[in-house]
Amino acid sequence: MRGCSENELIQICQELGLKRFRAIQLFQWVQQKAVTTWEEMKNIGERDRHALRSRLTFNSLEKVREQRSKDGTRKYLFRLDDGETIECVLMDYARTTSRDRHTVCVSTQVGCAVGCAFCATGLEGFRRNLSVGEIVGQVLDITHYVRQEDPDFQVTNIVFMGMGEPLLNYDQVLPAIQLLNQGQGLNIGMRRMTISTSGVVPQILQLAKDNPQVGLAVSLHAAQDEVRNDLIPMNRRYPLIQLMEACREYTQITHRRITFEVALTSKNAKREEAEALVRLLKGQFGHVNLIPINSVAGTGMERPDPELMSKFAQVLEDAGISVSSREERGADIDAACGQLRRQWEGEL
Ligand code: SF4
């Protein structure tokens, strides 16, 4: 039921002989109030609830573990109905000039087939795609848990940057975005959601055509094929020339700026890499976000020296490229994608 749109619930209510307003009430309980049981739906009578239960299953995700960082970041490990586990993260950003930002980083797959060299999720391989309900459910369950401490809590932003490659589960991710955006639900603005991809060219072009007005972040990480092939195996299938062509087409169609993510490790935080990035991004409407990676056991990658990072950023700035460094969150917990799940599975 958590994957159902308002219209789908209206259709189901009609088939059950229930009034249209019941569907709207149901949708609001599930998607706006983020309740986790039928009993909490106070304005739906027992008879109608019984009829709805005969058609709809309503399962929240089981919270297996929660970690809290000193900076307020919370990381959750959730168990799905089939026993698989996924991670998602809530990051709070206090703002003085605008309302506080509460960003949820959601997973879109169990495991991941892409196998990026710096990623704990990639080490596990691909298990399965998440459904619309499982994707949206992460945001609903986090909302539910935080509201127990802060009843006014609202998620304001979503990033599809958790476990999995979102564009390899496009058919579930797109309706999940539309559901999270619905006015009677969590009502999260399209421009407050960002899809991050390792560079799946056909789906970047599809996203441009569908143009849901969400942000697009491309995990570039390297500007030369020889280097990127080792970091992101997807590059062998869609090399940089194809990826950049797709990015140009995306900005032409959508007029939206792409964020290019560059994870800096001890291996790629070098001047020649920064210069190659300047050449690659020439004429591209975009912004570069530098990410110092958390070291992950088993990947052989180390965090780069902060001085190397600022020199890297300076090369980009000198070339007129807009650049920022990602604020580090959750450094004292297993915040890098896939780390908590690996640690937990290792204990079993
Ligand atoms: S970084 Fe993302 S795309 Fe790459 S292996 Fe990890 S989850 Fe998959």
What is the pLDDT of the chain when averaged over all its residues? 90
CA of 166 to the centre of ligand 1 (A): 9
Q: Which residue ranges have their beta carbon within 6 Å of ligand 1?
A: 112, 114-116, 119, 121-122, 163-165, 198, 337
Is 307 catalytic? The answer is no
Beta strand residue intervals within the chain, DSSP E: 62-68, 74-79, 85-93, 101-105, 109-111, 126-129, 157-160, 193-197, 215-219, 258-264, 286-292, 323-325
CA of 336 to the centre of ligand 1 (A): 11
Decide if pLDDT at 95 tops 80: no
Residues 208-229: pLDDT tens digits? 999 889 999 999 988 999 989 9
Of residues 85 and 298, which shows the higher confidence score? Answer: 85
Instruction: State the closest ligand 1 atom to the C-alpha of 196, by its place in the atom list counted from 1.
Output: 2
Domains 6-55 and 62-347 share a fold: no
Architecture of domain 6-55: Orthogonal Bundle (1.10)
Catalytic residue among 87, 134, 261, 273: 87
Q: Output the DSSP codes for 92-149.
A: EE--SSSPPEEEEE---EEE-SS--TT-HHHHH-EEEEPPHHHHHHHHHHHHHHHHTT
- Structure tokens given for 171: 């058919």
pLDDT at position 348 is 47
Decide if pLDDT at 341 tops 70: no
Which residues, 6 or more positions from 67, have their beta carbon under 8 angstroms from its beta carbon? 74, 75, 330, 333, 334, 340
Domain locations in the chain as residue ranges: 6-55, 62-347
CATH number of this structure's domain 62-347, picked from the four choices 2.60.40.60, 3.20.20.70, 3.40.50.2300, 3.60.15.10: 3.20.20.70
Is 87 catalytic? The answer is yes
Instruction: State the closest ligand 1 atom to the C-alpha of 120, by its place in the atom list counted from 1.
Output: 6
Task: Answer yes or no: are the C-beta atoms of 219 and 197 closer than 8 Å.
Answer: yes
Residue % of the chain over a pLDDT of 90: 74
Decide if pLDDT at 253 tops 90: yes
